Structure 1
Amino acid sequence: MIGLLVGLLVLGLESSGLLERYSLQTLDLLFQKALPSRPGAGDIVLIEVDQASLDFYQSQGLTWPWPRQMYAPIIDYCWQAGATAIIFDILFTEGSSYGQEDDLRLAQSLDRAANGFLPLFFTRNPRKDNGLPPEGLQNQGLSVAGQPPGEDPGYQSVMLPVPPLRAAAAGLGNVEARPDSDGVYRRLTLLVPFQGRWWPQLAMAAYLHHYRVKSLAWQPRGLQLESTAPTKTRGTHFSEIIPLLPDGGLLLKYRPGARPYRRYVAANVIQSYVQSQAGEQPIHPLSDFSQKWVLVGLTAPGLYDLKATPLSPIYPGVAIQATLLDNLLNRDFLVPLPRVGAILLTLGISLTAALTVLWVPALWLTLLSLIGYLALIMTLAVLLFVTGVWLDAVPPLVAVVFAFGVSAAYSYSTEGRQKRVIRRTFAHYMSDTLIQDLLKNPDKLRLGGERREMTIFFSDLAGFTSLSEGLSPEELVSLLNEYLTQMTDIILARGGIIDKYEGDAIMAFWGAPLSQPDHAARACLAALEQQRQLSKLRSEWQSRGLPQFSARMGINTGEVVVGNLGSNTRFDFTVIGDAVNLASRLEGANKSYDSGILISETTAVQAEGQVELRELDLLAVKGRATPVRVYEVLAPKGQLEAVMVQVRELFAQGLALYRQQRWTEAQALFQQVLELCPLDGPAQKFLARCQTLVGQNLGPDWDGVFRLTTK
């Protein structure tokens, strides 16, 4: 929903025009960077009235504006060369200041060439004298079938070439063009309406004339051209559609590079004509203009025909007409991505970006995804642009950034708040690694429980109450905190969760809220590490004159109910069940064996590959009729000392004899254990039992179970 709303918002911003500036700048960047630098059409050449030409003739006493007959040699020379068309991007809307003969001299050259084209200029300001009666102008315009796109520009008048030139020209074309909102010329309107007829752009007028196009029609996809007259390059018939923007304009496909078209200095072309007439070697041979589309224009800075384009802030206006002609001749157009496609892309990328933020938990992955989406859009824009399709990358780019920002804010205020609660709740009794995993799966903490096999751990300090009576409250708290801190660190490091503290007792568990297949082994290894660390603490406490404590630990694996148990306003993440009670009873049962770590058979079976064990007894704890086989955890797997290996073997033999009621033989084996390890608590306890039972026959019904009557 967030992604969709953001996408619609961005599309609204686009429709309002607020993104237009950035879209146009992105288009310019594509022109400058995406297209390979290559020359334009080789059959298009420019003859420029540049600063060098002005300076050359000024040095001979000829100032600007030149006499019109100065352009006649250019026309004559190109005509002699066999130029395809001669297109003047220079307005001749007023009579020559050198007199009518000057206009007639230029008109003679135009008439002889029969392929010269002159510009006209439409304005939105009414004029009393537009140079031509309306009925005369109507006869020269084009008829176009179909419904035209865009709006009527509202032209009120037209500035035409003077009558002699107008009559001699092969055709007239519009050079009025309006830049985009930032002053850059990126598009041209191919046909404009005036007095019931349609008038083409100057370069297009020459194109239509050359290919003898007589049928034009507006189509949904653009402007359709048809010709049945034979041409040298396109056969006896051709039909094509020029893709247009919704407003009827053509998006120009500029050629990158400083000089995409071959350019000639006007003064040199004039001199070439004079030299050829005198039989001299011309500066530019006639072959330079053979079969060429020749465009003549003003490029000197002071002549005010320089415009801003995507490629340069100073670009000759005549080169814009050359670009249009190039696009037409090569049918190489730049087409905007269809509106439906652009909308779907913006909405789709916005929705995908929002889902990424909400689904990807890691911040660095989210940022990497953001960069990836931005790069993907720009790569797609470049690839499409090279093939002639303009994808306006700004709306999808903005949509991605907005979607990431809004989704991140939403996530922080909702899921983020939930994660902060989780971290605050579990920080003191769960490792940071587990918390991170839990943050990825917060649903595991919903109120209520689930049945799951887990391993439960209980520990208690033996004789803590009596031994601590000589300590002040401050000393007692300090000692207890020191002990609990170090034991807790070990449990958390092994992936356990602290359920609760009760004085010096610790309850912890493994296997929830996240699955841990090796939960039994984790608990046993954590217990061993705690015993080793407690041994170090005892040495420290002894040096400080503090009491010495030992710890009893009980571990059981079984099915329990785990989850957030409590009310809607106050709950704890804990475990309940018979397996929990048995773990607690096993912790207390250590007193009956003088052992340190007592575990159940279910725990032993699952942890056997990770720890060294010694079977101790069949035990029925208080409140539980069913006996359980119990084991003592001795060491991590493979780390049992050699003497303890012997102790375990002798003890196992003695236990087997004990269960056969062979008390005396069992007693001898337990005695051997004590000779190897005098402080072995289980051997001492079983030796005492055997001494009590010597001479007794408990009968065949004796099950060998040791039943506890206390906790």
Structure 2
Amino acid sequence: MTVKSKEKTSRRRAFRLVGLGLIMLGCFIRVLDPYPVRMTRLIYFDILQRISPREYNPDLPVRVLDIDEQSLANWGQWPWPRTLLAQMVQNLGENGAAAIAFDMLFVEPDRYSPARLLNDPALDGVLTVERHAQKVDYDVLFGLEVAHWPVVMGTAARHASEGSRMTAKAGIIEIGESPTSGLISVPHWTPIAPPLGRSAAGIGGVNVSPLGGTGVIRSVPVLWGGPEGALPSLGIEALRIALDAPYILVEGSSDEAGIVLAVEIGDFRLPTTENGEVWVRYRRDQPDLYLSADAIMQNPNDPDLRSEIEGRIILVGTSAAGLFDMHQTSLGESVPGVSIHAQILEQILTGEMLSRSDVTAALELLSFVLLGLIVIAVMSSFGAVTSFVAGGVAAAVVLGTSWLAFQNQLVLFDVTFPLMGGMANFGLLAGYLFISTEREKREIRQVFSHYVAPEILDEMELSGHRLQLGGETQEITVMFSDIRGFTPLSESVSATDLVTLLNELFSQLGDQILHERGTIDKFIGDAVMAFWNAPLPVEDHPCRAAHAALRMRAALTEFNESEAMRDRQPIALATGCATGWACVGNIGSRSRFNYTVIGDVVNVAARIEQNCRHVDYDILVSASVNNAARFDLAMLEAGFVDLKGKSDPEPVFVLVGDKSLAETEGFQTLQTAHEHLIAAIRDRNAQDEVSELCAECTALSEIVEPGLKRFYRALPGRMADFRLDAQTTRVEFSHRGTLRKVAGIRATS
């Protein structure tokens, strides 16, 4: 295994470990089940019900006798005299009600009873009551009427330190390890005014939420844990009375105390939470559910009214605004508390009971783990985009499963934690992957910045430049620069010091190339190759390459004067530049390739650099560079040189300086003298005249560029380079060094 593959495997392993750590953290949070997680789950269950609420069935034997605003207007403010309530019970009973349950409290004795009115000091001497009625107690009358019919009285939980002893009239049979010990506990119950508690067929709790509970009513206890034992809720007790069932069966866990699994009443089985609550399967509030109390009091013999009462469970409650018995449902509606009791009875009768067990919660946790593993596996192998798609598909499957479970099985399967947890894992892992990728990108950029100018790197990133095997043909400028005097230097220092010196030198030379937007192709021993106009276009690339050569000359002068070169022979450079067409791109195998150039221009630049020794000058450029940049640089004609592998001699030029030097009077004087010298050589003037002109140019070069002195000293021995003998071609030069080819003319000696 290569080092690269080992590093890749190590990064992938680290990524997966981070992902597994996030999954474990998510599982821990789910087990703790903090308030935000719990509320998000409940809101999702509300959304499910809002999308698909339960349908209302008017044939169900449940109705609400509503003490509404009309009833209060016709029969007086609440509370009504108990005799009026006794008449209401009688009318309901005679119309065949299967059970009558009061979702209201009768805590205090009736203040309208004559015995109480006579004892009221405020009415002393004002109120006169016949002797036979002086001891009439309306509570007793109400109790006598209640005893004749299947009536359930309501009681409520209270925080007071004292309360009434409240024992369920239903028999409570427990199966399992004391399941009722885990019911929601009630400190005390409100008392029921005597003799109503004794007269009633049943007693039930009217609360739809635990003490202190506010907000949306999503689940309601069907059994309460009171000081004297379990007590059924109002609706459950009304159902028991209507079924004439003597007991309520509580099914619990066989191996753990305080766990309620289900409650059975007659033939009906209610799956519950472990503390005895049922999830309310809501429907939209329907006016058909309600019967006005005013109607039963005004027209007790109405056949239509009897058809709505006979054989049905009648829950007596109020929707009057002033009596404050309104609650919020999962559907976003405000309904009377008695309506919630009625809806629980409806779903029991239709069997539409929502369920949510520990197995469901475990499957939710498993879904979260599976989603996390999918994200980890796909992202570590294929990246963030693919993992997002794969995670999205998996999330859609989980969401679809939840919906089907709700629609078909009435199972509340939470997808919020798997989805939100999965999204959190994806975001954190994508962030981790992004940081890792950015770190690698910075490392690659740092390495690549040694070869390409930073601004070119920026342009490549902005343009989305991608490296791929293959290349394209385009015009480029190539530079070869070789160290002169390297052999003596290598003999005078150790190999380690030599590497240090080369690294320092190449760093300084490379900076000049990058400064001029060049691309460093490679370092070849003591030489460097660079090119311009790739990978991104550089408009004035011949001029840029020439300026880079001039900057390298200046950098070399500073390097030779540095502390590193003290007591050592100075180093010289030979640089050649050429412009032409070449194939630029990634060349090599599919698994390993280099970004480089291939073409004749590369060979020309390399051979021109080799001829620096022959011309005895440090920077030579081709005619193509001269043609492209002659107005921006100071260059002088250097004759024709033989290039290895080329059949015809190649014209070259010495690069003296930049445009600022070209515009100086000294260079222009030198240029004129140089042209006279070249003309004298071509015209085969006398040797003395040529020598005199050469001496003049040497003297002028002293103030322009001292390095030209060697060039001019070598010129008398190179006069043949300026006289081209060929069979078919004669090359003439204008005074600006412009190359013209005239075919078919034979040059003479």
Q: For the superposition of Structure 1 and Structure 2, which TM-score range results when normalised by the shorter chain?
A: 0.5 to 0.7
Deviations 1:198-244 (CA, angstroms, capped at 9, x unpaired) = 321111112233345546142448215274xxxxxxxxxx4x64222
> Which deviations, in whole Å up to 9, do the C-alpha atoms of 1:515-560 show, x marking residues without a partner?
699x99x978999xx9xxx9998864467688799xxxxxxxxxxx
Tell me if structure 2 keeps the 8 A contact 1:3–1:347.
Answer: no
**Deviates most, 414-423 or 475-484:** 475-484
Deviation at 1:71, TM superposition (A): 2.9
- Matched with 2:489 is none
Report the equivalent of 1:640.
none
- Aligned equivalent of 2:705: none
Q: 2:67 aligns with which of 44, 49, 74?
A: 49
Larger radius of gyration between Structure 1 and Structure 2 = 2
**Aligned amino acid, residue 280 of structure 2:** L
Superimposed CA distance per residue, residues 584-630 of structure 1 (whole angstroms, 9 cap, x where no aligned partner): xxxx87525999xxxxxxxxxxxxxxxxxxxxxxxxxxxxxxxxxxx
Alignment match, 1:192: 224
Scaled by the length of structure 1, the TM-score of the pair is 0.58
Give the C-alpha shift of residue 417 in structure 1. 0.7
Distance (Å, rounded) in 2 between the aligned partners of 1:508 and 1:241: 81
Per the alignment, residue 395 of structure 1 pairs with: 417
The TM-score normalised by the length of structure 2 is 0.55
Is the 1:3–1:355 contact (alpha carbons within 8 Å) kept by the matching residues of 2?
no
CA distance, structure 1, for counterparts of residue 517 and residue 77 of structure 2: 106
* Range with greater deviation from structure 2 (452-461 or 115-124): 452-461
Aligned twin of 1:84:
98
User: In structure 1, what is the Cα distance between the partners aligned to 2:374 and 2:344?
Assistant: 39
Aligned CA distance change for structure 1 residues 294 and 592 (closer, same or farther; 3 Å): farther
**In structure 2, do the counterparts of structure 1 residues 262 and 542 end up closer, same or farther at CA, with 3 Å as the change threshold?**
same
* Mapped pair 1:253 → 2:308: no
**1:146 corresponds to which residue?**
176
Matching residue of 1:242: 270
**What amino acid does structure 1 have at the position aligned with 2:299?**
S
* 1:115-154 pair list within 5 angstroms: 115-123=150-158, 125-127=160-162, 130=165, 137=167, 140-147=170-177, 148=179, 151=182, 153-154=184-185
Out of 159, 167, 189, the residue aligned to residue 190 of structure 2 is 159
The amino acid across from 1:97 in the alignment is: R
Instruction: State the secondary structure of the residue aligned to 2:343.
Output: helix
* Alignment map for 1:496-515 (pairs within 5 Å): 504=577, 510=586
**1:258 & 1:139 partners in 2: Cα distance?**
31
How do 1:125-524 residues align onto structure 2 when only pairs under 5 Å count? 125-127=160-162, 130=165, 137=167, 140-147=170-177, 148=179, 151=182, 153-179=184-210, 183-194=215-226, 197-213=229-245, 214=247, 216-220=249-253, 222-225=261-264, 227=266, 238=267, 241-255=269-283, 257-259=284-286, 262-273=289-300, 276=301, 285-312=305-332, 314-336=334-356, 338-355=360-377, 357-359=379-381, 361=383, 380-387=401-408, 388-426=410-448, 484-489=531-536, 504=577, 510=586
For 2:24, the aligned partner's letter is L
SS in 1 for 2:299: helix
1:111 is matched with 147
Q: Cα deviations across residues 366-418 of structure 1 (Å, max 9, x unaligned)? A: 77777777766655544443342223334224312321332133223323311
In the alignment, the residues of structure 1 paired with residue 69 and residue 382 of structure 2 have an alpha-carbon distance, to the nearest angstrom, of 62
User: SS where residue 98 of structure 1 aligns?
Assistant: coil
Secondary structure of the 1:118 match is strand
Equivalent AA in structure 2 for residue 208 of structure 1: R
| SS of structure 2 residue aligned to 1:90 | strand
Deviation at 1:326, TM superposition (A): 1.7
Per the TM alignment, residue 271 of structure 1 is displaced from its structure 2 partner at its CA by: 1.7
Distance 2:297 2:34 in 1: 48
**Greater CA drift, 245-254 or 5-14:** 5-14
What secondary structure, in the 3-state scheme, does the structure 2 residue paired with 1:328 have? helix
Equivalent position amino acid for 1:267 in 2? D
1:569-597 deviation digits (Å, cap 9, x = unpaired): xxxxxxxxxxxxxxxxxxx87525999xx
- Tell me whether 1:38 sits opposite 2:55 in the alignment: yes
| Whole-angstrom CA distance in 2 between matches of 1:503 and 1:385 | 80
Give, in whole Å, the separation in 2 of the partners of 1:195 and 1:479: 91
Structure 1 287/434 Cα, relative in aligned 2: closer, same or farther at 3 Å?
same
Identity %: 20
Q: Secondary structure at the match of 1:250?
A: strand
Q: Which amino acid aligns with 1:199?
A: L
Distance verdict in 2 for CA 1:203–1:396, change over 3 Å: same
- For residues 140 and 477 of structure 1, do their structure 2 counterparts lie closer, same or farther at Cα, with a shift above 3 Å needed? closer
Q: Name the structure, 1 or 2, with higher relative contact order (CA <8 Å, separation 6+).
A: 1
CA distance in 1, matches of 2:535, 2:201: 97
Does the 8 Å CA contact 1:120/1:174 hold for their aligned counterparts? Answer: yes
Unaligned runs of 5+ in 2: 1-16, 114-135, 254-259, 483-508, 520-529, 539-548, 550-574, 606-621, 638-642, 651-726, 729-740, 745-749
For the residue of structure 2 that corresponds to 1:19, the secondary structure is helix
Alpha-carbon displacement from aligned partner over 1:482-510 (angstroms, at most 9, x marks no partner): 9943244379xxxxxxxxx9964899663
Q: How many residues align?
A: 508
For 2:24, the equivalent position in structure 1 comes to: 8
Instruction: Note the C-alpha offset of 1:464.
Output: 11
Partner amino acid, structure 2, of 1:183 = G
Partner of 1:591: 646
Q: Is the 8 A contact 2:223 2:233 kept in 1?
A: yes
State the AA in 2 paired with 1:46.
V
The SS at the match of 2:104 is: coil
Q: 1:119 to 1:423 in 2, by over 3 A?
A: same
* Equivalent residue letter for 2:251: W
Q: How does 1:631-670 map to 2 (within 5 A)?
A: none
SS at match of 1:205: helix
**Cα contact 1:4–1:347 (8 A) shared by 2:** no
Instruction: Give the distance between the partners of 2:588 and 2:223, measured in 1 at CA.
Output: 74
SS of residue in 2 equivalent to 1:389: coil
Q: Matched residues in 1 for 2:466 and 2:405: separation?
A: 42
Q: 1:261: how far off?
A: 5.8
| Counterpart amino acid of residue 192 in structure 1 | W
Structure 2 counterpart SS, 1:47: strand
Cα distance between partner residues in 1 of 2:251 and 2:404: 30
Equivalent position SS for 1:335:
coil
Any idea what SS the aligned residue of 2:532 has? helix
- TM-superposed CA distance for 1:463, in Å, is 11
CA contact (8 A) 2:64 2:314 kept: yes
The AA in structure 2 aligned to 1:174 is: G
Q: CA deviation at 1:66?
A: 0.6
Q: Which residue of 1 aligns with 2:680?
A: none
- Per the alignment, residue 19 of structure 1 pairs with 36
Distance in 2 (alpha carbons) for counterparts of 1:97 and 1:246? 43
Say whether 1:64 aligns with 2:78.
yes
In 2, the alpha carbon distance for the partners of 1:341 and 1:163 equals: 51
More moved, 195-204 vs 21-30: 21-30
Q: Is the 8 A contact 2:355 2:412 kept in 1?
A: yes
**Separation in 2 of the partners of 1:139 and 1:480?**
96
Matches within 5 A, 1:557-706: 590-591=645-646
SS in structure 2 at match of 1:89? strand
Q: Distance in 1 between matches of 2:513 and 2:41?
A: 75
Q: Write the distance in 2 (CA, Å) between the matches of 1:546 and 1:128.
A: 111
Residues 139 and 42 of structure 1: CA distance in aligned 2, closer, same or farther (over 3 Å): closer
Q: Please give the alpha-carbon distance, in whole angstroms, between the structure 2 residues aligned to 1:415 and 1:303.
A: 65
